[in-house]
C-alpha cells in the first residue's frame, strides 16, 4: 500500500486535533523535546569536560607563551640556532617550515602564530554563534522553513532561498571551524618542532662542552709530553756536547802524537864503540884471552886462516845485527805511526759520530719544539675557548637552562594547545554532524525530494508522506537543540575571549618587553591574573553547563509551539 501523502499546506496531524487533544499534543511536544535533547547529549557536546577544560586552559597557554617570549628575548638565547626548520605532522609529512633559523625568532613566530589563532578563534566563534542564533531564534531560519510548509504562498516565494541560505550558512560555519582547527593543529605541530629542536640543542650544547673539555685535556697532555721530551732532548744534547769536547781533545791528542811520529829523525846506525862493545861481547872467550896487544901483535904478524874466517864471520854477524836493528826500529816506528793513524781516525770518526748525533738530536729537538709549539697553539686555542667559556660560564649554564626551561614550557604549551585542538575538533565534529546529517540529510533533503517544480523552475508544491513529515520535524528539533548548544558554547568562548584571552595576550606582549629588574614581579602578577582567569572561566563553563540543557529544551519547545497552527 502506498504511503499517505499530503500537499501544501502540511503539518503534523496532531496539530490539527481538537481542543480536547491539546493535552496529548503537549505531552507529545515534551516527549519529542526530550528525545532531541538526549540525542544532542549523546554526542558529547553536553559533557563539560569535552569543551570546558580546554577553554579554561587558554590563559595557561598564554602565560606559557609569555615565559617563552621572555626567554627568547635574552641576549644569551640570541645565537641559539634550530637544527631543522621542517614542521612535520603525525605521519612525518612536512606541513610547513619554521620561518627563521634562530630559536628566539622562531619562538616569537610561534607566539605570533598562537596569538593569531586565538584572535581568529574569537572571530570564528562569534561568526558561528551568530549563525546558530540566526538558525534557532524566534522567526529564525528553522522556524521560517517549517512555517512555510504550512504556507504555500510564502513557500513558493521564499522556501528555495531560505534553504539555500541554510546550506550556505552551515557550509561556511563548517569551513571556518575546519580552518580554525587546522590553525590550532598547525600551531601544535610548530610547538612540537620547536621542542624537538630544543632537545637537540641541549644535546649539541652538552656535546660541544664535552668536546672542548676533551680537546683541552688532549692538548694539556701533549704539552706535558712535549715539554718532557724537550727536557730529555736537551739533557741528551748536553751529554753529547760534553762527549764531543772530550772527543775533540782526543783528536787533538791523536793528531799531536801522529805529528810527533811524522817528525822523528831517521833511524841511526849503531856507533863504532857500540859495535866494538857488541863485538867484544860476541868474541869467543878463547880469543878474548889474547888481549888487545896480543891481537895487535897477531895482526902485525899476519892472521891465520882461522882468524880470517872468524873475523869475516864476525863482520857478517855485525852487519846482520845492524840490519836487524834497523829493520826492527823501522818496523816499530811504522807500527807506532799506524797506531797513531788508527787512533786519529777513530777519534775523528767518534767526533763525527757525536756531531751527527748532536745534529740529529737538534733536528729532533726542533721537530719536538715545532710539535710543542703546535700543541701550545692548540692548547692556547682550547684555553682561549675555555677562557671564553669560563668568562661566560654563567652564560653557558644559562643557555642550557634556557633550553631546558624552553623544553619544559614548550611541553606544557603543547599540552594546552592539544586541549584547545581537541576543543575545536569537538566543535568541528558537532558542527559537521549537525550540518551534514541533521541539516542536509534529515531536514533539507526530504523537503527537496518532496518539492515539485514547474517547468519554469519555480516551486509548485511540496508533497511529503507522514514518515517524511516526521523526519523533517524530528530533524528540525535536533538541529534546534544542536545549534542551541553550539550557540551557548561559542558564545561562552567569545565572552571568555573578550574578558580573559585577549587581555591575557595583551599582557603577554607587554610582559615580553619589560625590563629585567621588573620581570619577576610583573610575571608573578601576570601568572596570578591567569590563575584567577582560569578559575573564572571554569565558573562560567560550570554555569553554562548547568543552563545548557534548559536552554536547548526552551528553544526546541519554542520551535514546536511556533509551528503549531492556530485554531
For 90-133, the pLDDT digits (tens) are 888 988 998 988 888 888 888 889 899 999 999 999 999 999 99
Determine contact, residues 478/442, Cβ cutoff 8 Å.
Answer: yes
Higher pLDDT: 558 or 12? It is 558
SS3 of residue 80 by DSSP:
coil
Determine contact, residues 10/149, Cβ cutoff 8 Å.
Answer: yes
Which pLDDT belongs to residue 428? 82
| Block residue for cell numbers 607566539 | 111
Determine contact, residues 45/482, Cβ cutoff 8 Å.
Answer: yes
DSSP label at residue 91: T
Which pLDDT belongs to residue 291? 56
Report the predicted TM-score, pTM, of the whole model to 2 decimal places.
0.65
User: Does residue 157 surpass a pLDDT of 70?
Assistant: yes
| Separation between Cα atoms, residue 201 and residue 502, nearest integer Å | 33
Which pLDDT belongs to residue 15? 40
Q: In terms of Cα–Cα distance, which of 51, 162, 105, 101 is closest to 488? A: 51
User: Does residue 515 surpass a pLDDT of 50?
Assistant: yes
User: Does residue 351 surpass a pLDDT of 80?
Assistant: no
Which pLDDT belongs to residue 293? 56
Q: What percent of the chain has pLDDT over 70?
A: 72
Phi-psi region of 2 (alpha: psi -120 to 50; beta: other; left: phi over 0): beta
* 112, 122, 133, 452 from 183: Cα distances, Å: 12, 13, 25, 43
Model confidence band, residue 3 (pLDDT cutoffs 50, 70, 90): very low
Which pLDDT belongs to residue 6? 41
| Separation between Cα atoms, residue 390 and residue 384, nearest integer Å | 9
Higher pLDDT: 15 or 435? It is 435
Amino acid at each position: 500500500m502506498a504511503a499517505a501523502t499530503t500537499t501544501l499546506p502540511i503539518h503534523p496531524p496532531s496539530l490539527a486535533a481538537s481542543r480536547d487533544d491539546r493535552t496529548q499534543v503537549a505531552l507529545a511536544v515534551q516527549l519529542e523535546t526530550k528525545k532531541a535533547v538526549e540525542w544532542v547529549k549523546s554526542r558529547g557536546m553536553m559533557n563539560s569536560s569535552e569543551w570546558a577544560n580546554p577553554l579554561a586552559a587558554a590563559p595557561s597557554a598564554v602565560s606559557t607563551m609569555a615565559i617563552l617570549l621572555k626567554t627568547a628575548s635574552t641576549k644569551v638565547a640570541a645565537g641559539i640556532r634550530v637544527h631543522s626548520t621542517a614542521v612535520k605532522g603525525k605521519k612525518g609529512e612536512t606541513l610547513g617550515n619554521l620561518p627563521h633559523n634562530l630559536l628566539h625568532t622562531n619562538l616569537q613566530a610561534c607566539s605570533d602564530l598562537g596569538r593569531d589563532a586565538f584572535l581568529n578563534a574569537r572571530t570564528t566563534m562569534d561568526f558561528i554563534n551568530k549563525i546558530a542564533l540566526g538558525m534557532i531564534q524566534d522567526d529564525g531560519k528553522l522556524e521560517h522553513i517549517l512555517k512555510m510548509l504550512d504556507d504555500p504562498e510564502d513557500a513558493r516565494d521564499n522556501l528555495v532561498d531560505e534553504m539555500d541560505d541554510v546550506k550556505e550558512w552551515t557550509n561556511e560555519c563548517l569551513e571556518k571551524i575546519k580552518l580554525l582547527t587546522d590553525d590550532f593543529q598547525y600551531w601544535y605541530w610548530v610547538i612540537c618542532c620547536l621542542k624537538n629542536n630544543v632537545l637537540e640543542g641541549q644535546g649539541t650544547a652538552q656535546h660541544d662542552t664535552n668536546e672542548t673539555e676533551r680537546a683541552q685535556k688532549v692538548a694539556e697532555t701533549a704539552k706535558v709530553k712535549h715539554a718532557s721530551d724537550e727536557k730529555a732532548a736537551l739533557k741528551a744534547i748536553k751529554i753529547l756536547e760534553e762527549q764531543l769536547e772530550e772527543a775533540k781533545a782526543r783528536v787533538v791528542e791523536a793528531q799531536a802524537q801522529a805529528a810527533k811520529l811524522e817528525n822523528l829523525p831517521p833511524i841511526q846506525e849503531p856507533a863504532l864503540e857500540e859495535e866494538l862493545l857488541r863485538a867484544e861481547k860476541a868474541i869467543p872467550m878463547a880469543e878474548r884471552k889474547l888481549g888487545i896487544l896480543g891481537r895487535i901483535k897477531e895482526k902485525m904478524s899476519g892472521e891465520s886462516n882461522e882468524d880470517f874466517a872468524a873475523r869475516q864471520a864476525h863482520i857478517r854477524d855485525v852487519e846482520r845485527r845492524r840490519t836487524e836493528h834497523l829493520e826492527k826500529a823501522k818496523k816499530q816506528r811504522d807500527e807506532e805511526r799506524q797506531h797513531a793513524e788508527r787512533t786519529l781516525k777513530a777519534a775523528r770518526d767518534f767526533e763525527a759520530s757525536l756531531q751527527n748525533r748532536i745534529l740529529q738530536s737538534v733536528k729532533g729537538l726542533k721537530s719536538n719544539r715545532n710539535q710543542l709549539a703546535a700543541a701550545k697553539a692548540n692548547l692556547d686555542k682550547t684555553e682561549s675557548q675555555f677562557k671564553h667559556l669560563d668568562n661566560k660560564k654563567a652564560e653557558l649554564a644559562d643557555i642550557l637552562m634556557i633550553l631546558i626551561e624552553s623544553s619544559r614550557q614548550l611541553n606544557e604549551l603543547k599540552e594546552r594547545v592539544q586541549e584547545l585542538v581537541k576543543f575545536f575538533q569537538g566543535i568541528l565534529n558537532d558542527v559537521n554532524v549537525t550540518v551534514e546529517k541533521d541539516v542536509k540529510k534529515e531536514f533539507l533533503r526530504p523537503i527537496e525530494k518532496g518539492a515539485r517544480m514547474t517547468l519554469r523552475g519555480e516551486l509548485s508544491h511540496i508533497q511529503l508522506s507522514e514518515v517524511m513529515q516526521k523526519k523533517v520535524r524530528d530533524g528540525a528539533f535536533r538541529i534546534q537543540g544542536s545549534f542551541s548548544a553550539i550557540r551557548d558554547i561559542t558564545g561562552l568562548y567569545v565572552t571568555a575571549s573578550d574578558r580573559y584571552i585577549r587581555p591575557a595576550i595583551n599582557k603577554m606582549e607587554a610582559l615580553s618587553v619589560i625590563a629585567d629588574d621588573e620581570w619577576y614581579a610583573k610575571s608573578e602578577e601576570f601568572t596570578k591574573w591567569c590563575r584567577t582567569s582560569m578559575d573564572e572561566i571554569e565558573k562560567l563553563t560550570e554555569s553554562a553547563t548547568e543552563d545548557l540543557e534548559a536552554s536547548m529544551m526552551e528553544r526546541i519547545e519554542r520551535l514546536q509551539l511556533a509551528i503549531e497552527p492556530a485554531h
